[in-house]
C-alpha cells in the first residue's frame, strides 16, 4: 500500500522485502558494477531498453530505493540523489541553463550557494541578477525580467534570518512569464512545506541536514517532474556527483524518523524563540512561528510547521561573543544544521563569511547574529543552557 501521508511515506516508500533473502531492511548494494550474461543484455541496458543496473555512478539499487522514498515525501515524479546539496544545485543550474541565459536569484541565500552562483555558474555564460524577493517580489521580479530570463531561484525560510518568501507570488509570476522555478526546501523539510503542491517546478535539499538528521551523511537531492528527471540524472552521471550506496542507506534510515523528529524540532524551536524574545541579553529573534514576526502570516499560509531553525542577535563585541560560546555547556558550535543535537553557528564568520560586509548587512547578518539548530533534547534543558550562557555576556 502506497500512502501519500508523510509519516507513512517516510517509513514505507521505496521499501520491499528483499527478493533473495526476504530481509525487511533495505540491503546495501556495496558494488561499483553489475554483470551481464550476454552481449544482447548489455546492449539493451546501455540503450535503456531495460532497467538493468550497469554501474553505480549511473544507478544503484540502494540509492534508487532511497530516491523513491524522498520523491514520495515531496510528492514528485522522482528524485535524484547527489553527493552533496551543492552538487544537486549545480546539476540543476547546469541542466536548465545555457550560455547566454539569464536567471533571477534571491539575494537572501545560503552563502555557499551565493559563491557557487557567482564563481561557477556565471562562468557558464549565465547572467545572474540577485533581487530582494521578500519585499514586493512581483515588482522586483518585473524590474529584473529580461527576454532571456529562464528561471527564478530562491529558498524559504531563508538561511540564516528565517525570512519567508511568498511562494504563491513567485509561482504566479513565473507561470505568467513561462519561467521555471527552483526552491531550496532544506530549512523547512517536506514535513513543514510542500512547494511542488504550490506549483514550484523543482525542489532540492541539502539532505545532509534535516532529511538525514543525524550529522552522519553528506548528500543532496533534487525532486523534479518526469520531463526534467532524465536530464538531471544525466548531469549527475557525467559530473561524477553520484551518492554512494552506504551513505544512501544511512540517509534512508534517517528519513524514516523525519516526521517525528521534525515535530520535536518545531516544538522546541518555537519554545526557544518565545523564551529568547523575552531575554534581556537578546536584541531580536528571527523565527516565523512568533506571532510578532513580520513573516508569520505568509508562513502560516504556506507552512504546516515553522521548522527547527531560528536566529537571534546579541548586541556584543567579539570578546563577549566568545564568553557566550565558552559558557554553553550542552550546545556546540558547528558549521551545519539539521541534526538531533542543538547547535549554533555565527553566520558572519562561517556560512556567509565570503560575502561582503555590505551584502551581509543587506540581509540582516550582523557579527552578533547567532543561528540555532534547535535539537530534540528536552526543551527546558535547551533554554537553561542558553540562559546561563547569555547571562555571562
| pLDDT digits 0-9 by tens, 166-187 | 999 999 999 999 999 999 999 9
Q: Are 160 and 89 in contact (CB under 8 A)?
A: no
Q: Are 247 and 292 in contact (CB under 8 A)?
A: no
Average pLDDT over residues 242-253: 99
Distance CA 363, CA 165 (A): 13
Average pLDDT over residues 53-80: 98
With vertex at residue 163, the alpha carbon angle to CA 161 and CA 169, rounded to the nearest 5 degrees, is: 160
More reliable by pLDDT, 53 or 315: 53
**pLDDT of the residue at 183:** 99
**pLDDT of the residue at 2:** 52
3-state class (DSSP) for residue 7: helix
Q: Are 90 and 100 in contact (CB under 8 A)?
A: no
Burial of 37 (0-12, 13-18, 19+ CB in 10 A): exposed
**pLDDT of the residue at 27:** 97
Rounded-to-10 torsion of CA 14, 17, 18, 20: -150
Question: Which one, of 179, 205, 209, 206, lies nearest residue 194 by Cα?
Answer: 205
Give all domains of the chain, ordered by start, each with its CATH number: 6-255 (3.40.640.10), 258-390 (3.90.1150.10)
- pLDDT for 3 beyond 80: no
- Give the pLDDT confidence of 352-391 residue by residue, as tens digits: 888 888 988 888 999 999 999 999 999 999 999 999 999 9
Q: Where are the beta strands (DSSP E) in the chain?
A: 78-82, 102-106, 127-131, 149-155, 180-184, 202-206, 220-224, 282-286, 309-314, 332-333, 343-345, 369-373
Distance CA 364, CA 143 (A): 23
- Give the pLDDT confidence of 338-347 residue by residue, as tens digits: 999 999 999 9
Average pLDDT over residues 194-207: 98
**pLDDT of the residue at 1:** 38
- pLDDT for 43 beyond 80: yes
- Give the pLDDT confidence of 138-169 residue by residue, as tens digits: 999 999 999 999 999 999 999 999 999 999 99
pTM score? 0.96
Work out the percent of the chain whose per-residue pLDDT is above 90. Answer: 92
List active site positions.
57, 110, 184, 209
Reported as a pLDDT band with limits 50, 70 and 90, residue 349 is confident
Average pLDDT over residues 113-131: 98
More reliable by pLDDT, 349 or 292: 292
- pLDDT for 58 beyond 70: yes
Question: Which one, of 212, 300, 218, lies nearest residue 261 by Cα?
Answer: 212
Work out the percent of the chain whose per-residue pLDDT is above 70. Answer: 99
- pLDDT for 72 beyond 80: yes
Q: What is the mean pLDDT of the chain?
A: 96
Amino acid at each position: 500500500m502506497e500512502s501519500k501521508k508523510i509519516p507513512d511515506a517516510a517509513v514505507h516508500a521505496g521499501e520491499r522485502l528483499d527478493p533473495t533473502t526476504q530481509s525487511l531492511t533495505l540491503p546495501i548494494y556495496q558494488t561499483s558494477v553489475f554483470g551481464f550474461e550476454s552481449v544482447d543484455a548489455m546492449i539493451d541496458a546501455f540503450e535503456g531498453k531495460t532497467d538493468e543496473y550497469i554501474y553505480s555512478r549511473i544507478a544503484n539499487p540502494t540509492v534508487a530505493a532511497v530516491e523513491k522514498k524522498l520523491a514520495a515525501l515531496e510528492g514528485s515524479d522522482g528524485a535524484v540523489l547527489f553527493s552533496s546539496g551543492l552538487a544537486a544545485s549545480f546539476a540543476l543550474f547546469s541542466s536548465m541553463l545555457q550560455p547566454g541565459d539569464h536567471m533571477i536569484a534571491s539575494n537572501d541565500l545560503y552563502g555557499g550557494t551565493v559563491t557557487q552562483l557567482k564563481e561557477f555558474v556565471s562562468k557558464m555564460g549565465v547572467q545572474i541578477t540577485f533581487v530582494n524577493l521578500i519585499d514586493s517580489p512581483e515588482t522586483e521580479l518585473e524590474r529584473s525580467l529580461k527576454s532571456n530570463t529562464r528561471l527564478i531561484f530562491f529558498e524559504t525560510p531563508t538561511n540564516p534570518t528565517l525570512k519567508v518568501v511568498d511562494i504563491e507570488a513567485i509561482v504566479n509570476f513565473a507561470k505568467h512569464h513561462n519561467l521555471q522555478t527552483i526552491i531550496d526546501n532544506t530549512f523547512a523539510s517536506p514535513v513543514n512545506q510542500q512547494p511542488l503542491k504550490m506549483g514550484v517546478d523543482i525542489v532540492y535539499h541539502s539532505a545532509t541536514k534535516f532529511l538525514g538528521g543525524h550529522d552522519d551523511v553528506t548528500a543532496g537531492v533534487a525532486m523534479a517532474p518526469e520531463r526534467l528527471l532524465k536530464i538531471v540524472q544525466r548531469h549527475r552521471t557525467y559530473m561524477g556527483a553520484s551518492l554512494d550506496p552506504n551513505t544512501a542507506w544511512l540517509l534512508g534510515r534517517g528519513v524514516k524518523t523525519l516526521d517525528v523528529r521534525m515535530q520535536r524540532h518545531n516544538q522546541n524551536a518555537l519554545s526557544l524563540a518565545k523564551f529568547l524574545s523575552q531575554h534581556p541579553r537578546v536584541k531580536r529573534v528571527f523565527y516565523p512561528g512568533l506571532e510578532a514576526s513580520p513573516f508569520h502570516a505568509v508562513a502560516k499560509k504556506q507552512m504546516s510547521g515553522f521548522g527547527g531553525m531560528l536566529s537571534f542577535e546579541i548586541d556584543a563585541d567579539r570578546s563577549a561573543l566568545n564568553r557566550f560560546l565558552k559558557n554553553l555547556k550542552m550546545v556546540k558550535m558547528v558549521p551545519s544544521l539539521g541534526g538531533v543535537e542543538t547547535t549554533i553557528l555565527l553566520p558572519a564568520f562561517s556560512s556567509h563569511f565570503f560575502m561582503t560586509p555590505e551584502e551581509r548587512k543587506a540581509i540582516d547578518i550582523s557579527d552578533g547574529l547567532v543561528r540555532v539548530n534547535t535539537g530534540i533534547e528536552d526543551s527546558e534543558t535547551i533554554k537553561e543552557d542558553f540562559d546561563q550562557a547569555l547571562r555571562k555576556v
